[in-house]
Structure 1
Amino acid sequence: MSQYELLATAIACFAVLVSLIAWNGQRKLQREANDLQRATAKLAEKQLELLLREERGKSVARLSLDLFRDGKSYRFRLTNVGEAEARDAEIELQLQRPEDNPIIASEYAEKFPAKRLMPGSSVTLIAAMHLGSPSAYNAILSWTNPDGSRIEEEAYVAL
């Protein structure tokens, strides 16, 4: 082999070595790009899920129950804290002894079921509390969403 052939072979081997190094670097870059693309796809999926959940949240009502002192008396307040109207809203206190029920039956019959409880609006009931009354109550709140689904949710209220 002549000197030029040896030089050409050495240059070719060096070129192959440089190509292998560049190819390996490109593989690493491509792997990182694929990982970033997967992460971006997962993020987009999470954002879409949050948007859908937020959109669903706008079409459902959410009720909360409070027990508060109003001057010298106590009151229960049922409030629609959701973004949609609640229909046929009701409260059912879970009592161990029926005689502990602080809700006046005639007032409850007048106001409930609340036909339409708009977002931000509330209904109050007098709580006929006495010294032997419990200071906290478990309750089941029930209402119908605009889509027709009936919801029952547990609530806990305390002074």
Structure 2
Amino acid sequence: MSPYELFATITACLAVIVSLITWNGQRKLQREANDLQRATSKLAEKQLELLLKEERGKSIARLSLNLVRDGKNYKFCLTNIGEAEALNAEIRLILQRQDDNPIISSEYSEKFPAKKIMPGSSVTLIAAIHLGSPSAYNAVLSWSNPDGSRIEEEAYVTL
């Protein structure tokens, strides 16, 4: 083999080695680009999910029940903390004994079911609390959303 052929063979081998190193580097870069693209895709899915959840949240009412002091007396305050109106809202206290019921039935029948509670609005009921009354109540709040879905949620209120 002549020196020129040997030189050409060595040069060709060096070119192959350089090509393999470059190809390996490109493969790593492509893998990183694919990982970045997957991460971007997951982020876009999460953003879409959050937007859909926010959009659903705008069409859903959320009710909160509090027992607030009004001078010397107490009142149950049912408040719509959601972004949609609550329809046909009701309160049902879960009691150990019916004698512990602090809600005045005549007032309850006048106000409930509340036909429509707008966002940020409240409905109050006088709580006939006496010394023998429990200091906390479990309640079930139920209402309908504007889309027609019926929600029941448990609440816990304390003095």
TM-score, L = length of structure 1: 0.99
Counterpart code for 1:99: D
The CA deviation string for residues 16-62 of structure 1, in whole angstroms up to 9 with x for no partner, is: 00000000000111011111111110111011001000000000100
Give the aligned partner of residue 100 of structure 2.
Answer: 100
Whole-angstrom CA distance in 1 between matches of 2:21 and 2:148 = 65
The residue correspondences of 1:97-136 to structure 2 (distance < 5 A) are 97-136=97-136
- Work out the number of aligned pairs and report it: 159
Give the aligned partner of residue 7 of structure 1.
Answer: 7
SS of residue matched to 1:133: coil
SS of residue matched to 1:45: helix
1:138 to partner: Cα distance: 0.2
Whole-angstrom CA distance in 2 between matches of 1:27 and 1:149 = 53
TM-score, L = length of structure 2: 0.99
Give the aligned partner of residue 62 of structure 1.
Answer: 62
SS of residue matched to 1:8: helix
Whole-angstrom CA distance in 2 between matches of 1:18 and 1:88 = 76
1:2 to partner: Cα distance: 1.1
Unaligned runs of 5+ in 1: none
Give the aligned partner of residue 75 of structure 1.
Answer: 75
Percent identical among aligned pairs is 81
1:78 to partner: Cα distance: 0.1
Whole-angstrom CA distance in 2 between matches of 1:68 and 1:114 = 19
Unaligned runs of 5+ in 2: none
Give the aligned partner of residue 24 of structure 2.
Answer: 24
The CA deviation string for residues 93-137 of structure 1, in whole angstroms up to 9 with x for no partner, is: 000100000000000011100001000000000000000000100
Counterpart code for 2:133: S
Say whether residues 1:145 and 2:145 are aligned partners.
yes
SS of residue matched to 2:35: helix
1:92 to partner: Cα distance: 0.2
Give the aligned partner of residue 35 of structure 1.
Answer: 35
Measured on the aligned residues, the alpha-carbon RMSD in Å equals 0.5
The CA deviation string for residues 58-96 of structure 1, in whole angstroms up to 9 with x for no partner, is: 001000000011100000000000000001000000001
1:150 to partner: Cα distance: 0.8
SS of residue matched to 1:130: coil
Provide runs of 4+ in structure 1 moved above 4 Å: none
SS of residue matched to 1:12: helix
Whole-angstrom CA distance in 1 between matches of 2:17 and 2:148 = 70
